[in-house]
Amino acid sequence: MFRTRQRKVGRAVVTGAASGIGRATAVELARRGADVVLVDVDGAGARAAAADARRHGVDAVAHVVDVADGRAIEAFASEVLAGGPVDLLVNNAGVCVVAPFVATTSADWEWVLGVNLRGAIALTRALLPSMLERRSGHVAFVASLAGLVGAPAMVAYATTKFGVVGFAEALRVELATSGVGVTTVCPGYVRTGLHASTRYGNDRFARFLDAPPRWYGMTPERVATELLDAASRGGGVVALGPEKLGWWLKRLAPEAAFHVARWVGGRVGVDAASTAGAPPRAPRPGRAAAAPPPH
């Protein structure tokens, strides 16, 4: 079985498990000997990922759940707990809006807040009490470097990821003596399918994500491995990718980090000058549950 600092993981729940980091995490957990419950709005993708996980000789089952739906979360949690304890929860499901703040609609805000932040809070709230009763378990979050360093034209996305990082940090302190651990990973650009369902207000940035340089970005498998390794040693916040230099700079010299972020935003066309007057745009279809865009 996979072991965290608290105990062996016999059963794990992974959201956004149909693709990207979620799928890689579910399969890696299975490889390490844990049974996995895969959650996603993409039922076909989740079932395919569960089939991959079962190849490692564990039990893996897919559930179609919209994490932004509070009632669906409660029903799912009750069903899962009826089947036995959950030792590890991986809150990974995520969506993204790339647009200037003034062009980000109320619907955009509801979408990204519902999936990225409220969904993670709701599922943690539903499953955590059973962990506390057993004084054993672990909660992990896939956030983003956009949750550590502000990024232009990604205000809505960054707001949710800063929220996830803050929620996880406060929760980790609160649970320090409870026997339940909390880990957060904050990757930079990861080569997943998130960009395909991102709502864009910036064609230049969309084109960049559609065909980034071949050398740029991490694989979902690397993020999954880093996440589970961090959880196994009881780690708190783990920043991944070369973009983490921006976080280090922010901690050492905040004003210098601001100017660097401003310069980078201009180079990739996501600063206010590049996105001013962006017309309303139709969202790309679908909802991916994967990794953060570059920032």
User: Which residues in 168-193 are b (16+ Cβ under 10 Å) and which e?
Assistant: beebbeebeeebbbbbbbbbbbbbbb
Amino acid at 44: A
Burial label, 282 (beta-carbon count in 10 A; 0-12, 13-18, 19+):
exposed
Residue 216 falls in the annotated catalytic set: no
Residue type, 3: R
C-beta of residue 120 within 8 angstroms of C-beta of residue 165:
no
Label the pairing between strands 97-98 and 199-200. Answer: parallel
CA distances 209 to 2, 69, 131, 152, 200, Å, are: 34, 29, 39, 16, 11
Whole-angstrom Cα distance, residue 207 to residue 10? 42
For 166, the 3-state DSSP assignment is: helix
Pairwise CA distance, residues 210 & 228, whole Å: 29
Among the options 157, 189, 200, 216, which is catalytic?
Answer: 157
**What span, in angstroms and rounded, lies between the C-alpha atoms of 64 and 58?**
20
Token pair recorded at residue 167: 């929620």
Terminal-residue alpha carbon distance, the chain: 36
CA 63/CA 103 separation, integer angstroms: 34
Active-site amino acid positions: 157
